[in-house]
Amino acid sequence: MDVEATCWAGGQPRGEVSEIIEIGLTVVDLAAGERVARHGILVRPARSTVSEFCTELTGLTQQEVDQGVTFAEACRLLAAEHHAGARPWVSWGDYDRHQFTRQCQATRTPYPFGRHHTNAKAVFTGAYGLRKRPGMAQALGIVGQRLEGRHHRGEDDAWNIAALVLHLCERGVWPATAEHPA
């Protein structure tokens, strides 16, 4: 899973908060060693706008995210259609998990995920004995894989994170508690 959120160059403007604008997820079949589905959910921000910097980074415009669902509806979709509460889930780092926690608390929206979260960046760093945790694109380079799609697009980043999860599984270093990441 990977999220994109509203962001700004040089700091957050007064009165705006960072909000999720895209949720990307890829379903992985670890037994088969393959990515079996990919999804993207555009989310309409309620307390911020998409800055020019954010559009340059993600490719997402205000007009596009205005067509998205509310954050509460996105969480409902994750729970009902993607079974997010019943599946272990993975993100590259802890930003995505923290962003969901903050936004759920701020909006009084039920948290859609279960308690089994794996920080794939930490697993990767340990597996390769690295001192510094690499970004997702850098990790792909370390393992000799190319970035597929656009970096900083949730759906594409989730697809690439899933490739790294499968790579870690092939090496035999994926934690047993993260059996079926979504």
The answer to whether residue 116 is domain-embedded is yes
The answer to whether residue 79 is domain-embedded is yes
The answer to whether residue 176 is domain-embedded is no
Range of 150's domain?
2-170
Q: Over the stretch 20-59, which tens digit does the pLDDT of each residue have?
A: 999 999 999 999 999 999 999 999 999 999 999 999 999 9
The answer to whether residue 64 is domain-embedded is yes
The mean per-residue pLDDT over the stretch 143-159 comes to: 97
The CATH number of the domain where 30 resides is what? 3.30.420.10
The answer to whether residue 24 is domain-embedded is yes
The answer to whether residue 67 is domain-embedded is yes
Q: Over the stretch 152-172, which tens digit does the pLDDT of each residue have?
A: 999 999 999 999 999 999 999
The answer to whether residue 182 is domain-embedded is no
Task: Write down the pLDDT at residue 145.
Answer: 97
Task: Write down the pLDDT at residue 182.
Answer: 40
What's the total number of domains in the chain? 1
- Residue 181, pLDDT above cutoff 50: no
The answer to whether residue 179 is domain-embedded is no
Average pLDDT value over all residues in the chain: 95
DSSP class per residue in the chain: -EEEE---TTSPPTT----EEEEEEEEEETTTTEEEEEEEEEB--SS----HHHHHHH---HHHHHTSB-HHHHHHHHHHTT-TTTS-EEESSSHHHHHHHHHHHHHTPPP-S-S-EEEHHHHHHHHTT-SSPPPHHHHHHHTT-PPPS-TT-HHHHHHHHHHHHHHHHHTT-S-TT-SS--
